[in-house]
């Protein structure tokens, strides 16, 4: 069978009306990857597939562009996008592939809303089909709640006969727990002849691929015992179940890799996150698209996205996005940090916000401060309530603070402004001009006390 060629078709044209969304169903995110990417990553590993045909329809350009953005040319050379302009069912979708697959001897067909199928199961299905030399092999599994799935109909001898869709099943058929997973292998060219016979005589007026199975002479139904990997996504509830399966797999792997995870049922970590051993993740935390080194403590209830955190850094009750944080830092509680680089031994304390800034080694920003569009050099202390006034109503302006400077509590630094090194700015000052090195800066109005003023008398009188 040296010249025997097997292709794979991914059916990804439908809108997914039961998802109640304008987003194409196959682009819904599952722990950091679109649904179709989960499946495509697996299919690519199956070396038996000469070509991968992706049938797209609803918002086709959006689906195609997402796939093109995530894979290199070497992989995309195996991929052929096939357009189904009208969503008239899976049978019609597969017919669109005919003109592109003339050199194939058989086709594996997988619904793109079954994202968790394993490479081993796909290989098992293809090998079974080739070994049995049948015209069609259907992959099935059993589910306690089969609602929404096509049912596998067998005769009294347990021989596979046909598939009946949920909407067309009678009460007796709806009790069957063996379901069609939407995954097949068909021999060619007999498939095309069978597809030419099907008619849209169902409630949806669509051409069901399952109807073509009736017109194939030799067929087999292969039962897969692991129903989790064959769960399909038809509703938002289904999507939630799939996400939870993947989330648990991620956490299990991290635990095996030496990460300490507290209250794992409350934690979300996506597939694009890397965490090294001896780091602790506490309850209620969410971590996406990030890298966290060893001996860190994250949480409880922290959100981290698109960030890199070095060794022995502690982050408590904080929100961090697109940020680099160095070694031995303490962040939080209730800090908010965006688009920022933080070096080593930095403390950013409660209710401090830092955005679009660079914070050098040994800086302290402990309480209730806003630091925006700012560069802070080494060994600077920022007092409570300090604000860099970076926005003038038109543009964001820069603040620079030199090393070994002390900024007192409730200071306003009106940008653009440059504060030199070894500067002390008195508490309560509003600084609008550059401050040179080695300077004490005091900017307060004279205090005025007026006893027995009429305003006071009126206030007391009330």
- CA-closest candidate to residue 106, choices 141, 81, 131: 131
Q: Give, in order, the Cα–Cα distances in Å from 8 to each of 104, 109, 334.
A: 10, 6, 50
Whether the CA torsion 373, 375, 379, 381 is positive or negative: it is negative
**Is the preceding omega at residue 286 within 30 degrees of 0, hence cis?**
no
Q: What is the chain's length?
A: 462
Pairing of strands 280-281, 33-34: unpaired
Euclidean distance between CA atoms 376 and 382, whole angstroms = 10
* Residues 6 or more apart in contact with residue 378 via CB below 8 angstroms: 360, 361, 362, 363, 403, 404
Q: How far apart are CA 184 and CA 170, in angstroms?
A: 24
72: Cα separation from own chain's centroid: 20
Burial class (CB in 10 A: 0-12, 13-18, 19+), 232: buried
Given the residues 73, 262, 314, 367, select the one marked as catalytic: 367
In this structure, what DSSP letter does residue 100 have? Answer: G
The sign of the dihedral angle between the CA atoms of 266, 271, 275, 277 is: positive
- Torsion, CA 19, CA 21, CA 24, CA 29, rounded to 10: -80
Query: Which residues are CB-contacts of 57 (< 8 A; sequence separation ≥ 6)?
Result: 12, 13, 14, 83, 84, 85, 86, 87, 93
367 is catalytic: yes
Nearest to 186 by CA among 145, 149, 132, 146: 132
Residues tagged active-site: 367
């Amino acid at each position: 069978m040296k010249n025997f060629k097997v292709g794979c078709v991914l059916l990804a044209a439908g809108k997914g009306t039961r998802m109640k969304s304008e987003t194409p169903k196959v682009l819904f995110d599952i722990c950091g990857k679109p649904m179709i990417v989960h499946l495509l990553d697996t299919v690519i590993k199956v070396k038996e597939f000469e070509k991968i045909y992706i049938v797209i329809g609803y918002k086709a350009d959006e689906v195609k562009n997402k796939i093109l953005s995530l894979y290199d040319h070497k992989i995309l050379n195996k991929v052929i996008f096939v357009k189904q302009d009208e969503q008239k069912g899976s049978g019609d979708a597969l017919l669109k592939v005919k003109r592109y697959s003339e050199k194939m001897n058989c086709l594996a067909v997988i619904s793109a809303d079954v994202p968790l199928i394993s490479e081993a199961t796909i290989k098992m299905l293809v090998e079974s089909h080739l070994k049995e030399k049948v015209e069609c092999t259907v992959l099935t599994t059993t589910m306690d709640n089969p609602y929404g799935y096509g049912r596998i109909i067998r005769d009294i001898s347990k021989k596979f006969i046909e598939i009946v869709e949920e909407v067309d099943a009678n009460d007796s058929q709806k009790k069957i727990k063996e379901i069609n997973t939407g995954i097949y292998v068909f021999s060619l060219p007999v498939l095309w002849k069978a597809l030419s016979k099907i008619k849209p005589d169902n409630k949806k007026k669509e051409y069901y691929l399952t109807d073509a199975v009736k017109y194939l002479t030799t067929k087999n139904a292969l039962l897969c015992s692991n129903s989790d990997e064959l769960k399909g996504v038809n509703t938002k509830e289904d999507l939630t179940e799939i996400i939870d399966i993947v989330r648990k797999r991620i956490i299990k792997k991290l635990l095996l890799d030496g990460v300490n995870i507290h209250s794992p049922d409350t934690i979300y970590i996506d597939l694009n996150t890397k965490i090294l051993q001896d780091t602790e993740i506490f309850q209620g935390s969410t971590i996406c698209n990030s890298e966290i080194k060893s001996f860190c403590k994250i949480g409880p209830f922290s959100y981290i996205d698109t960030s890199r955190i070095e060794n022995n850094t502690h982050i408590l009750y904080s929100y961090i996005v697109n940020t680099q944080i160095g070694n031995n830092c303490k962040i939080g509680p209730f800090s908010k940090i965006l688009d920022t680089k933080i070096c080593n031994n930095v403390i950013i304390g409660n209710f401090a916000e830092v955005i679009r800034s660079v914070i050098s080694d040994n800086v302290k920003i402990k309480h209730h401060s806003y630091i925006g569009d700012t560069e802070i050099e080494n060994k600077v202390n920022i007092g409570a309530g300090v604000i860099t006034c970076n926005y003038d109503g038109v543009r964001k302006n820069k603040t620079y603070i030199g090393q070994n400077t002390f900024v007192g509590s409730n200071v306003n630094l009106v940008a653009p402004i440059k504060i030199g090194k070894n500067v002390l700015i008195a508490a309560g000052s509003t600084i609008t001009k550059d401050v040179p090195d080695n300077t004490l800066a005091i900017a307060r109005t004279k205090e005025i006390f007026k006893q027995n003023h009429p305003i006071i008398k009126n206030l007391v009188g009330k």
